[in-house]
Amino acid sequence: MAQNRQYPRYLTLKMGQITGEGLLRDCAVLNVSRGGACVLVSDIETLPPSFSLSFDGDTRDCAIAWRERHRVGVAFTDGPLDESQLPDPAALRSAERGDDVLRVAELFLRGVHAYTEQQLDLFDQVMQHLLDNTTDEAMVELSARIAPVSRGPVGVIHRLADDDDIAVSGPVLERSPILAEDFLVRIARSKSQAHLLALAGRIMVPEKVTDVLVDRGDDAVAHRVTANDGAQISRSGFQRLAGRARKDEELAKTIVHRKEVPADLFAALVRLVAEPVRQQLLRDPDPDVRRRMAQCLLTPAEPATESKTRGPARTRPPEKPREADLGAARAQLVDAARGGKLDATVDNLAALARVPAEAVRNLVRLGFEDGALVLCKAAGLGWPDAKLVFTVLMTRNARVDYKAAFERFITLSGDTTERTVRYLKAKRSPSIVELRRML
């Protein structure tokens, strides 16, 4: 459409109001010249040929010069504007270039906190009209600009978020607080992995959305949503993630740092991962992770399996009585240690760890701390009880670093403990050199 202009245009980007007989409508003034203005309004078809336009504290009588979709060109019928009423001359250059939707977005963002709901709706309608004929580059820029706005054009934001081009939808999917949970679930169920990756990075990810991300997402999505503290993960979600973590060490390391992982699932995950991963987690900088790892791994040691024989000797005692007997034996050991009774402590520890008492006494005589820690581990003691026993066994050691002892204790693997116990069963007079090699 040819638009002959007598005066140059200046970018204004201001909210305005159209008034007339029985007429009151909000609008946005995109640009202005001395002789007229370009006005953005949601419905131009019902506008009369002439009306009053108020903006920037001034009211002008206008006549429509042209109409084009969402835009109306008006001529001032009460005379041209004075030069002093025009914007800064620097705005002249910017009025001749750029995309309309970005201009409106700039106007919107300038006063977003002051607009009424009606004005917000106007922006939404106008910008949706503008999106029909805008460029891909402008849509990408628009998405980045309005993504974090809490009072935004709802229709525009949902339209951008639903775009198949992740460059357009990504910023809004990841950052917009306006998107509802049901909408996010629909996107998670239907869009690409790139869309899912953007959802996984939101400040808050509802549980329903997270469940879909865990089900449909690739490794990158699983890693990102698990590492996101704002993602709410259900029990079933943790179960599926734990299954994937069996072959993904980094995912396993991320899961154990989630404070809300149920204890039984945490323990199951620890059992699933490879031994080197367990050892790394036992040395994790997070003390809570180390504590939970220790709780999982410091389980009662199973008695050695009896050799198979014929007849009644094959019958094994039921599980519950055996556990009760072990509990009573540990209580007896702890009571002896608490009373400072070295001989009784050695005898009870030897019985629980199933090693010769002579071997335990030789370790005590040598003052070998790691040997004592291994025996406490083999006896199925937790650290508080192990510390009591360890203290009695190492009475002759002038200085004991309990913090270092605790770190060594919780990092002792089951394999190392079993190997050391087998050695102590065979060697009543253990060699410190050989034991150190094992540990």
Distances from the Cα of 434 to the Cα of 364, 390, 419, 430, angstroms: 16, 21, 12, 8
H-only helix segments in 367-429:
369-378, 383-393, 402-411, 414-426
Those residues whose C-beta lies under 8 Å from the C-beta of residue 19, and which sit 6 or more positions away, are 25, 51, 52, 54, 59
Angular region, 246: left φ>0, alpha ψ -120 to 50, beta rest: alpha
pLDDT in the model for residue 323: 53
**Largest Cα–Cα separation, the chain:** 117
Region 54-64 average pLDDT: 91
| Contact predicate 205/213, CB 8 Å | yes
Region 419-430 average pLDDT: 77
Q: Which residue has the higher pLDDT, 185 or 326?
A: 185
Separation between Cα atoms, residue 138 and residue 102, nearest integer Å: 7
Residue entry with tokens 């209580």:
331
The secondary element (H helix, E strand) that includes residue 10 is: strand 10-20
pLDDT in the model for residue 117: 81
pLDDT in the model for residue 309: 41
Separation between Cα atoms, residue 252 and residue 281, nearest integer Å: 9
Going by pLDDT thresholds of 50, 70 and 90, the confidence category of residue 430 is low
pLDDT in the model for residue 54: 93
pLDDT in tens, 272-290: 777 888 788 888 888 888 8
Separation between Cα atoms, residue 409 and residue 404, nearest integer Å: 9
Separation between Cα atoms, residue 390 and residue 371, nearest integer Å: 10
Integer Rg of the chain from CA: 37
State yes or no: pLDDT of 320 exceeds 70.
no
pLDDT in tens, 77-106: 998 888 777 766 554 444 444 467 887 888
pLDDT in the model for residue 91: 47
Which of 13-22, 202-211, 320-329 ranks highest by mean pLDDT?
A: 202-211
Distance of CA 103 to the CA centre of its chain: 35
pLDDT in tens, 171-225: 999 999 999 899 999 999 999 999 999 999 999 999 999 999 999 999 999 999 9
Separation between Cα atoms, residue 298 and residue 411, nearest integer Å: 10
pLDDT in tens, 95-154: 444 467 887 888 788 778 877 787 788 788 778 877 877 888 889 999 999 999 988 889
Q: Percent of the chain at pLDDT above 70? A: 86
Separation between Cα atoms, residue 434 and residue 384, nearest integer Å: 28
State yes or no: pLDDT of 370 exceeds 80.
yes
Separation between Cα atoms, residue 348 and residue 46, nearest integer Å: 96
Angular region, 380: left φ>0, alpha ψ -120 to 50, beta rest: left
**pTM, two decimal places:** 0.56
The secondary element (H helix, E strand) that includes residue 105 is: helix 100-110
pLDDT in the model for residue 15: 79
Burial annotation 426-439 (CB, 10 A radius, 16+ → b, else e): eeeebeeeebeeeb
Q: What is the mean pLDDT of the chain?
A: 82
Structure tokens at 178: 């306006």
H-only helix segments in 298-368:
319-338, 342-353, 357-366
| Contact predicate 372/394, CB 8 Å | yes
Structure tokens at 26: 């909000």
